[in-house]
């Protein structure tokens, strides 16, 4: 995992010292994303920088930016099917490294941008300059796992980086207005979910999209992927994809909670050490590690610097994030134990019907195991579980921008309906493209990268997502096995079914100090009320009111931290 930055100037302008200084500042700010090496290539109309976290082919020959006859590449991420693509290219291209970076570069050289994006699978964000066309391409992975931000400089050139913070800090003396729709969306989800960031003029390159910067000063946006129904997708296909995720040349770990998802990953990987946070499920996790003969590392993260850690990750990321404190503490502990790569089961619950909130319109089993809750029947119930209901609170300066559940739902029905898939697939895709895309992904990326650790998420591989979305709800939720039935059926060869008949806890922190942490949100919400920033409608109690109040407290705390940060002062004059 790495950090990327780049500038592209329209024809006739050229790269000068002003642009190079901006690139150097971006590189400095992205150091934690790639502490192992820094590289830079400057051309007549472009400049690319790269900070490297070396995971595959640790030799300096794989440092970036990397150059071929026609392309210059700065790339962040992992291409998991790079070995099969390399075999396809070996007859026409010469390889000098063992890296996936060079495979991506040579794929661009051989096939161009469109075919390359159709072939690669992984998590990535890259900047690729084509020398013959004098065009810069900026691409982001299918599921939006890795970030890529863009802005326009005062002279009209385009600037890209792996974080909002890097773009803010690179332009000294420039004051940006707050983009209120993005900030309003933050209070509804706990992370902004608009294309524009909370800073005016800084936008996200959207998932499954590439931006094409043209010599005439314009740019175009192209979507290269939508989910496609996979009628023949099997568990063998799923396992084959997940096994690609273990390729690494550094000490690597598996986030092992002891629950279904992470235990499944333990069962089909070979070399990963199991990293567990002390919890009521510790003995289950230890049993899993022993069953597969793995090293078991059990730790109790220190939360003494919790407030400092939230400030660090928010300043590193650039925008407020409600849930960043605990992932940061976890990532910090993993780094302390010497790991540079870890695999997480993020996304499995949303994809495999792990939560009762996700409707299954085509399937309502009469009976589920005793620990399983009945599935929510209506889309409105799913919405109110993920988002805060704007009828329960009001923020005066943002009230015209705070989306209602009705607005979110109407927009979702237009954007996230999947034709030719089972009815439940649209509900699962909705969660993947809202809660996972805008909250889980940036939170995990920022928390892990601030500690210089790469975290891979195989359940968000677009090939796997397409396949599992193609499965009917009756395959995923069964009367005998309950939720995530295919994963449990696979694991039944190693453990009795009763092993998983218990309430879900997940990979999180379970200790007394969490009570103190929860008080931080409660106090922040009280301060926000006292200062007349937020007004709560205690009479409404609509939707999931008590849940809304808890999350609004955490949201207010992270918002306060962001407003008081040096980053905010750098990017905003008042």
Q: Whole-number mean pLDDT of the chain?
A: 94
Q: What are the C-alpha distances in Å from 257 to residues 347, 407, 451, 468, 548?
A: 14, 36, 21, 22, 27
CATH 3.60.20.10 occupies which residues in the chain?
2-223
- Provide mean pLDDT across the span 374-403: 93
CATH 3.40.50.620 occupies which residues in the chain?
235-571
For tokens 């704007």, name the residue: 390
Helix (H, G, I), strand (E, B) or coil at 255: strand
DSSP assignment of 390-420:
GGGEE-GGGTTTPPPHHHHHHHHHHHS--TT
Which one has a higher pLDDT value, 174 or 313? 313
Instruction: Give yes or no for residue 512 having a pLDDT over 80.
Output: no
Q: What are the C-alpha distances in Å from 151 to residues 8, 180, 205, 210, 312?
A: 11, 17, 10, 15, 23
Instruction: Give yes or no for residue 477 having a pLDDT over 50.
Output: yes
Looking at residue 63, what is its pLDDT? 97
- What CATH topology corresponds to 2-223? 3.60.20
- Provide mean pLDDT across the span 303-315: 92
Long-range contacts of 373-376 (CB under 8 A, 24+ apart): 375/477
Which one has a higher pLDDT value, 518 or 252? 252
Q: How confident is the model at residue 364 (pLDDT cuts 50, 70, 90)?
A: confident
In the β-sheet with 209-213, what is the strand arrangement from edge to edge? 66-67, 71-79, 122-130, 135-140, 209-213, 219-223
Q: How confident is the model at residue 574 (pLDDT cuts 50, 70, 90)?
A: very low
Determine contact, residues 275/297, Cβ cutoff 8 Å: yes
Q: How far apart are CA 519 and CA 521, in angstroms?
A: 5
Instruction: Give yes or no for residue 325 having a pLDDT over 80.
Output: yes
Instruction: Give yes or no for residue 511 having a pLDDT over 70.
Output: no
The predicted-structure confidence for 532-566, as pLDDT tens digits, reads as follows 999 998 777 788 899 999 999 999 999 999 999 98
The closest alpha carbon to 29, from 10, 47, 51, belongs to 51
Distance from the first to the final alpha carbon of the chain: 35
Q: How confident is the model at residue 413 (pLDDT cuts 50, 70, 90)?
A: confident
Q: How confident is the model at residue 388 (pLDDT cuts 50, 70, 90)?
A: very high
Q: What are the C-alpha distances in Å from 298 to residues 260, 495, 498?
A: 18, 21, 24
Is this model's pTM higher than 0.85 or not?
Answer: yes
- What CATH topology corresponds to 235-571? Rossmann fold (3.40.50)
For tokens 């999209």, name the residue: 209
Least confident of 239-248, 295-304, 499-508: 499-508
What are the tokens at 148? 């890529």
For tokens 């579980």, name the residue: 385
Q: What are the C-alpha distances in Å from 18 to residues 14, 50, 240?
A: 11, 18, 48
């Amino acid at each position: 995992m790495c950090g990327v930055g780049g500038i592209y100037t329209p024809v006739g302008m050229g790269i000068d010292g002003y642009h190079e200084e901006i690139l150097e500042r971006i590189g400095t700010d992205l150091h934690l994303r790639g502490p192992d090496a820094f590289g830079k290539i400057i051309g007549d109309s472009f400049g690319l920088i790269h900070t490297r976290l070396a995971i595959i082919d640790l030799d300096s020959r794989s440092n970036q930016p990397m150059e071929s006859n026609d392309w210059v590449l700065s790339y962040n991420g992992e291409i998991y099917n790079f070995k099969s693509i390399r075999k396809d290219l070996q007859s026409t291209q010469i390889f000098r490294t063992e890296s996936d970076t060079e495979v991506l570069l040579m794929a661009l050289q051989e096939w161009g941008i469109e075919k390359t994006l159709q072939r690669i699978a992984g998590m990535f964000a890259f900047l690729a300059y084509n020398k013959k066309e004098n065009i810069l391409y900026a691409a982001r992975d299918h599921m939006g796992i890795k970030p890529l931000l863009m802005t326009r400089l005062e002279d009209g050139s385009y600037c890209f980086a792996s974080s909002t913070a890097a773009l803010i800090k690179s332009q000294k003396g420039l004051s940006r207005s707050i983009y209120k729709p993005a900030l309003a969306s933050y209070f509804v989800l706990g992370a902004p979910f608009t294309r524009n960031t909370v800073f005016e003029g800084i936008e996200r390159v959207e998932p499954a999209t590439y931006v094409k910067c043209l010599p005439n000063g314009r740019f175009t946006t192209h979507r290269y992927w939508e989910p496609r129904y996979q009628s023949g997708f099997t568990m063998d296909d799923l396992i084959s994809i997940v096994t690609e995720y273990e390729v690494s040349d550094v000490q690597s770990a598996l986030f092992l909670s002891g629950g279904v998802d992470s235990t499944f990953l333990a069962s089909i990987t070979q070399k990963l050490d199991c990293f567990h946070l002390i919890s009521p499920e510790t003995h289950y996790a230890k049993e899993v590690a022993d069953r597969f003969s793995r090293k078991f590392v059990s730790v109790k993260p220190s939360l003494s610097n919790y407030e400092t850690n939230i400030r660090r990750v928010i300043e590193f990321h650039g925008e407020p994030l409600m849930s960043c404190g605990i992932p940061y503490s976890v990532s910090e502990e993993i780094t302390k134990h010497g790991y540079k790569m870890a695999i997480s089961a993020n996304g499995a619950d949303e994809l495999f019907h792990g939560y009762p909130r996700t409707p299954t319109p085509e399937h309502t089993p009469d009976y589920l195991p005793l620990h399983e809750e009945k599935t929510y029947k209506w889309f409105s119930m799913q919405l109110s579980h993920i988002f805060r209901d704007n009828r329960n609170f009001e923020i005066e300066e943002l009230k015209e921008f705070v989306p209602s559940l009705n607005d979110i739902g109407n927009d979702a029905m237009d954007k996230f309906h999947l034709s030719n898939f089972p009815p439940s697939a649209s509900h699962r895709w909705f969660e993947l493209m809202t809660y996972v895309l805008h909250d889980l992904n940036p939170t995990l990326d920022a928390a892990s990268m601030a500690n210089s650790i790469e975290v891979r998420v195989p359940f968000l591989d677009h090939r796997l997502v397409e396949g599992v979305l193609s499965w009917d709800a009756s395959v995923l939720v069964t009367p005998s096995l309950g939720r995530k039935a295919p994963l449990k059926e696979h694991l039944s060869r190693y453990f009795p079914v009763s092993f998983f008949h218990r309430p879900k806890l997940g990979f999180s922190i379970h200790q007394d100090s969490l009570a103190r942490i929860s008080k931080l949100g409660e106090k922040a919400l009280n301060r926000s009320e006292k200062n007349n920033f937020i007004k709560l409608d205690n009479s409404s109690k609509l939707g999931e009111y008590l849940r809304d109040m808890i999350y609004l407290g955490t949201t207010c705390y992270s918002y306060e931290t962001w407003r008081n940060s040096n980053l905010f002062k750098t990017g905003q004059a008042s």
